[in-house]
Amino acid sequence: MKFKPANNIQDLQYFGEFGGVNPSISDSSTYTFLSAKTMFDTFEGNADGCYLYSRHTTPSNLYLGEALAAMEGTETANVAASGMGAITPAILQICGAGDHVISSRTIYGGTYAFLKNFTPKLNIQTSFVDITKLDLVEAAITENTKIIFCETVSNPLLEVADITGLAALAKKYDLKLLVDNTFSPLSISPAVLGADIVLHSLTKFINGSSDTMGGVVCGTQEFIDSLRSVNDGASMLLGSSMDSMRAASILKNMRTLHIRMKQHSKNAHFLAERFESLGLKTVYPGLESHPSHELFKSMMNEEYGFGGMLTIDVGSIDKANELMELMQHENLGYLAVSLGFYKTLFSAPGSSTSSEIPEEEQKEMGLSDGLIRFSIGLDNDIERTFQVMLNCMQKLNILEKEAITV
């Protein structure tokens, strides 16, 4: 039977304390016990259904975690205060001094900086590889390797990871495959394809209103319990716990995630096709020209499309900046980092979200400084949006005249 992530979310039924249609928010940092013995048992991890202290978990956080686990098809999940607050403990729970990580070289700048600059202080070394080449990934495995880390659709180059192939490698060498699925919620279900752990920044599409940070680790009950352990759990001890109020608000926003993702994908696909036909260097997994178009198709939950992210290359950082300022002036979207908002957001990753990556490495991975990353919004009239964008590009002489077909 086909995996239906949005159905799985909708099939969960929760009621609030007074029969509310939304679960009650647990507005408490600590919880009482009727007996001292139960408190002891809870610390020992032996009292199911008892709450201890909100850094550990809260009823509101469990509701949100359950919905995210249902979406990803994992046993359970642990929410965190931000995406980085989910990613970093997941890595540190698995790796200790002397261990080795293999990571895609095109990943979110914060994750890159963590693996490149921070974890070496703990003597955890990372090899950055072209994740689209399974032979290079396999060649990088050493006897100390514990993790293969990648993003399903990478930031900002929109490279697509072969999750099934990577999962087979992870299995063969007894490694854990960690997949950051922030760019492709609902569209791709990495755990169903064999990933061990699926991570998200909830800050982006899943919450979708650019009003909060959030993150999640989806995995087995055993792994999530280990993250929350009062003795040696990285989530519990590093303390990036989500607040219950936010868990409740993100859960409510998840109710519309499937509708939003379809619209983001529809709009992005439309614009990508138009941009490409204008002769602009356009990267979008839904385009046949994308090197991993067929791979994406083979992994996707079709109805959600190819996602809301696309990039174009306008040749230079100056042109990119001019275009972005003009587009903001024309109210086509905002010159801002982040993604998944109702408005289109655009930024030049070379000088912003990927600025942690040294210039020569940016070049090597194909991150040119004229690249603009778009998170396409929920525009109701995307043809109108395109016409105004086209006017902006013409005004700045971004298109070679003869290429314009409109």
Ligand X SMILES: *Cc1c(COP(=O)(O)O)cnc(C)c1O
Residues that bind ligand X (CB under 6 A): 82-84, 108, 110-111, 151, 155, 180, 182-183, 201, 203-204, 213, 215
Residue of minimal CB distance from ligand X?
83
**SS3 category, 389:** helix
Cross-strand bridge partners of residue 129: 104
In the chain, the amino acid numbered 171 is: K
Query: What angle do helix axes 382-395 and 317-329 make, rounded to 10 degrees?
Result: 130
Task: Locate 99 and state its tokens.
Answer: 């261990």
**Residue 63 or 149 having the CB closest to ligand X:** 149
**Residue 125 or 210 having the CB closest to ligand X:** 210
What is the nearest approach in angstroms of ligand X to the Cβ of residue 176?
A: 17
**Residue 138 or 361 having the CB closest to ligand X:** 361
Cross-strand bridge partners of residue 397: none
**Residue 203 or 253 having the CB closest to ligand X:** 203
What is the nearest approach in angstroms of ligand X to the Cβ of residue 46?
A: 33
**Residue 168 or 337 having the CB closest to ligand X:** 337
What is the nearest approach in angstroms of ligand X to the Cβ of residue 277?
A: 28
In the chain, the amino acid numbered 298 is: S
Task: Locate 127 and state its tokens.
Answer: 């090899």
Transcribe 319-382 into DSSP letters.
HHHHHHHHHHHTTS-EE-S----SS-EEE-GGGTTTTTS-HHHHHHTT--TTEEEEE----S-H
**Residue 336 or 396 having the CB closest to ligand X:** 336
What is the nearest approach in angstroms of ligand X to the Cβ of residue 236?
A: 18
Cross-strand bridge partners of residue 335: 346
CA distance 170 to 305: 28
CB 308 within 8 A of CB 155: no
Of the candidates 171, 149, 11, the residue with the CA atom closest to the CA atom of residue 86: 149
**Residue 108 or 128 having the CB closest to ligand X:** 108
What is the nearest approach in angstroms of ligand X to the Cβ of residue 185?
A: 11
What is the nearest approach in angstroms of ligand X to the Cβ of residue 206?
A: 10
What is the nearest approach in angstroms of ligand X to the Cβ of residue 20?
A: 28
